[in-house]
Chain A
Amino acid sequence: MTIEFTLNGRRVTAQADADASLYQVLRALHIASVKCGCETANCGLCTVHMDGRAVLSCSVPAARVQEHDIVTLEGLQEEAKALGGCLADEGAEQCGFCVPGLMMNVLALARENPDATDAEIDAYLAGNLCRCSGYMGQRRGIRRYLDSLKGVRA
């Protein structure tokens, strides 16, 4: 089937099988930031924004994105650069494999609750698994990023 949707601000047309996921469509469109980790909706690696909400692209049927707005990390480079800097400054990552999915969820959090407490950060990001950071550096980096946004908003 043919699906049409907006991807990172550009109108795109894609071919997909009836049982294809959004993740498969995005990879076919050479969106490299979206990766498939668990395929059981647990790891958060394939997170994208669909109409502004963070969703797991491995679980969204491709047909369901018809006429919807999809944003991946490729479409949020400015925010990603700022957030990535904060994570790097706090030594928050080792292998970095989970970072694109983490960033997409942090950017959704920043929009939804820019004044998030540490406990709210932990709760919001519970669906983003990382096997090497231990999470503490990530939380410090995210705290630093949210605080930097307050400076911009003030």
Chain B
Amino acid sequence: MATYQNYVMAQSLEEAYALNQKKSSVIVAGNMWLRMCGLRRQTAIDLSGLGLDRVEETEDAFVIGAMTPLRALETHDALNRETGGAFAAALAPIVGTQLRNTATLGGSVYSRFGFSDVSTLLLALDAAVVLHHRGEVPLAVYQQEPWDRDILTHVRIPKGVRAGIVSVRQSKTDIPTLVCAAAMEPGGVRLVMGARPARAMIAAEGVDPDAPTAVFEEITQRVPLGGNLRASEAYRRKVAPVLLQRAARACVEGNHDD
């Protein structure tokens, strides 16, 4: 279990940023994985009092606070209407309602977990992260960077992009063995693969969602895949083209419960 000497409820982002510059500090978001990872830190910094737990709509984007619980996104009407139900489809399989009431968007995105359903969908949607110090950074860039000491404050998702997401799991609420997402873009769909088991990555862009299976098989060949306790590389390589094709179709036809 994680252990801390001090627990600070940050009063401002400036205060949180200043405290977080020490290697002996850590930001606490949903506290799901963090508490289990055995960290020993001098100071835990809590952002829950800074109003970062809401979804705001601008003319062309959803701007989502980093401390927004996953459940709020899963049940957000406008977000699901705009994306064809992709958020509900992506988040509902994650463990249970109680966990999703506490786990946060920022915790998932900052941690850049390989198994993240959330990051896989956001990458397909061409989302950007807003960092307190650096400002806005495309998620496709942030996703490849090492952990840093800046503070993720918001995630920005462009409006009007339909998406589809499908996954395979060893059991219904387990972390995914493989997850694929697709989102409409000019000229076709953008395809993203997560739980490879490495961090999610863009597999292809501008793909015809009605393309034959051979196209998705060819795309899969270009994506680095690996094996872990959940599945071998060979298994993932066999399943991936089917999931990519289903995600592309879900983009067009809407998301379905498994």
**Using Cβ atoms and an 8 Å threshold, which residues of chain A touch B32?**
41, 59
Q: Which of B28-45 contact A (CB under 8 A)?
A: 28, 30-32, 35-36, 44
Judging by beta carbons under 8 Å apart, are B7 and A63 in contact? Answer: yes
Question: Is B144 close to A, CB under 8 A?
Answer: no
Judging by beta carbons under 8 Å apart, are A56 and B7 in contact? Answer: no
Question: Is B13 close to A, CB under 8 A?
Answer: no
Q: Which of B4-24 contact A (CB under 8 A)?
A: 4-7, 9
**Using Cβ atoms and an 8 Å threshold, which residues of chain B touch A47?**
98
Q: Separation in Å of the B66 CB from the closest CB of chain A? A: 15
Q: Separation in Å of the B135 CB from the closest CB of chain A? A: 28
Residue pairs across A and B with Cβ atoms less than 8 A apart, 15 shown, are A18-B4, A19-B3, A39-B1, A41-B99, A59-B35, A59-B99, A60-B102, A61-B28, A63-B7, A123-B92, A125-B96, A126-B97, A126-B172, A127-B95, A127-B98
**Using Cβ atoms and an 8 Å threshold, which residues of chain B touch A124?**
97
Main secondary structure of the interface of B (DSSP, over half): mixed
Judging by beta carbons under 8 Å apart, are A128 and B102 in contact? Answer: no
Give A residues with C-beta under 8 Å from B: 1, 18-19, 21, 39-42, 44, 47, 53-56, 59-61, 63-64, 66, 105, 108-109, 119, 123-128
Judging by beta carbons under 8 Å apart, are B31 and A42 in contact? Answer: no
How many B residues touch the partner, as a band? Answer: 20 to 34
Chain A residue nearest in CB terms to B5: A18
Give B residues with C-beta under 8 Å from A: 1-7, 9, 28, 30-32, 35-36, 44, 46, 48, 71, 92, 95-99, 101-102, 172-173, 257
Judging by beta carbons under 8 Å apart, are A42 and B98 in contact? Answer: no
Chain A residue nearest in CB terms to B69: A53
Judging by beta carbons under 8 Å apart, are B101 and A19 in contact? Answer: no
Looking at the complex, which one of B4, B30, B101 makes contact with A54 (CB distance below 8 Å)? B101
- Given A19-B2, A44-B98, A127-B95, are A60 and B31 neighbors across the interface (CB < 8 Å)? yes
- Given A44-B98, A105-B97, are A18 and B35 neighbors across the interface (CB < 8 Å)? no
Q: Separation in Å of the B80 CB from the closest CB of chain A? A: 15
Judging by beta carbons under 8 Å apart, are B4 and A53 in contact? Answer: no
Judging by beta carbons under 8 Å apart, are A61 and B173 in contact? Answer: no
Chain B residue nearest in CB terms to A16: B7
Judging by beta carbons under 8 Å apart, are B44 and A127 in contact? Answer: no
Judging by beta carbons under 8 Å apart, are A21 and B35 in contact? Answer: yes
Q: Separation in Å of the A136 CB from the closest CB of chain B? A: 16
**Using Cβ atoms and an 8 Å threshold, which residues of chain A touch B31?**
59-61
5 pairs of A and B residues whose beta carbons are closest in the complex: A127-B96, A18-B7, A63-B7, A19-B4, A18-B4
Q: How far is the CA of A40 from the CA of B36 in the complex (A)?
A: 7
Q: Separation in Å of the A139 CB from the closest CB of chain B? A: 15
Q: How far is the CA of A40 from the CA of B46 in the complex (A)?
A: 20
Q: Separation in Å of the B167 CB from the closest CB of chain A? A: 15
Q: Separation in Å of the A116 CB from the closest CB of chain B? A: 12
Judging by beta carbons under 8 Å apart, are B173 and A126 in contact? Answer: yes
**Using Cβ atoms and an 8 Å threshold, which residues of chain A touch B172?**
126
